[in-house]
Homo-oligomer: A and B are copies of this chain.
Amino acid sequence: MRIVALAGGIGGARFLRGLQAAAPEAEITVIGNTGDDISLFGLRVCPDLDTVMYTLGGGINEEQGWGRAGETFAVKEELGAYGVGPGWFGLGDRDFATHIVRTQMLEAGYKLSAVTEALCDRWKPGVRLIPMTDDQVETHVVVDDPERGRRAIHFQEWWVRLRASVPAESIAAVGAEDAKPAPGVLAAIGDADVVLLPPSNPVVSVGTILAVPGVRDAVAAKTVVGVSPIIGGAPVRGMADACLTAIGVETSARAVAEYYGADLLDGWLVDEADAGVEVDGIEVRSRPLLMSDPDATAAIAGAALDLARELAAGAAGTAGAAGEDAR
């Protein structure tokens, strides 16, 4: 079974680990969001790609969900001693090495997709991890900063430094409309039996990937099942509500499904708290969605796959045998 998942950072990575447990024989391709990539200290940092790579490769700091296990912060402390910032972005020493290798390869002319593949040679995440694009796309947020007035800031500054405490007036994936999908992205989607949308941020993670020209159409042509990142009107984790509010979408499981659209989504998993939600043109199922431990997460991923198989079989007119073939 060939599965494509569009993933952001922490939530996406945890879901993917559950997916691997639920479908150990599947060929999984992960299209990673690069809209929150940022250049810091002259180094190119790809938080979402790294979170997926570290999580699936066994190097993640499990407790915080990002960054490396056993991390130290000597470089960051020293940069601070030189007065060189920003200090609000938590780059650890082990993590720095990843960014040094990436930056060196990018400067040597390798594309981000090739760099990511090289980094994964070490981490062996068990999935094929492809950045959504090799072109630079950076999510910027317009805020009315109480101290500095209305200005556009990098998503990371809003998200990490300001903890999204200042409302976003708008959010834009700068460069997305001119970006091309990275090599392999459209082919992987085209070859997929199922496309899954993990409970990543629907605006700045999955939404940014879908904004790369060609990706949304390719995904929409497949059987697509999403897992709601919103439970009972609040994000499962993170501050997705701040992003949804910025683009005028209600923070609810139903509204997110409508935001993705019935042209894209075939199935939508919502939490039991949202049982009864209906969305025109989308098959909605409810079940517990808290990724509280690996088993619970694997069960959620398995349920998403089951729904996808059921929908695919239904679409193919062979609904009777659905649901058990690949597990």
Q: Which residues of A contact B (CB under 8 A)?
A: 41-43, 71-72, 74-79, 81-84, 92-94, 96-98, 100-101, 103-104, 107, 119, 121-122
Contact = CB atoms under 8 A, between A and B. Distances in A.
Contacts of A79: 97, 100-101
Contacts of A81: 97, 122
A41 B74 contact: no
B75 A119 contact: no
A284 B82 CA distance: 43
A82 B41 CA distance: 21
A113 B81 CA distance: 20
Contact of A43 (B83, B100, B122): B100
Given A82-B119, A122-B81, A122-B82, A74 B103 contact: no
22 contacts: A41-B101, A41-B104, A42-B103, A42-B104, A72-B72, A74-B92, A74-B93, A74-B97, A75-B75, A75-B94, A75-B97, A75-B100, A77-B97, A78-B93, A78-B94, A78-B97, A81-B97, A81-B122, A82-B119, A82-B122, A83-B122, A84-B104
A26 to B, nearest CB: 27
A248 B124 CA distance: 53
A78 B98 contact: yes
Given A81-B122, A82-B119, A122-B81, A75 B93 contact: yes
Contacts of A101: 41, 79, 82, 84
Contacts of A72: 72, 74, 93
A42 B107 contact: yes
Contacts of A82: 97-98, 101, 119, 122
Contacts of A78: 93-94, 96-98
A69 to B, nearest CB: 12
A73 to B, nearest CB: 9
A93 to B, nearest CB: 4
A25 B64 CA distance: 53
Given A74-B92, A78-B94, A83-B122, 8 more contacts: A42-B107, A75-B75, A75-B93, A81-B122, A82-B119, A84-B101, A84-B104, A96-B96
A40 to B, nearest CB: 10
Contacts of A75: 75, 93-94, 96-97, 100
Contacts of A93: 72, 74-75, 78, 93
A133 B43 CA distance: 26
Nearest to A80: B97
Nearest to A93: B74
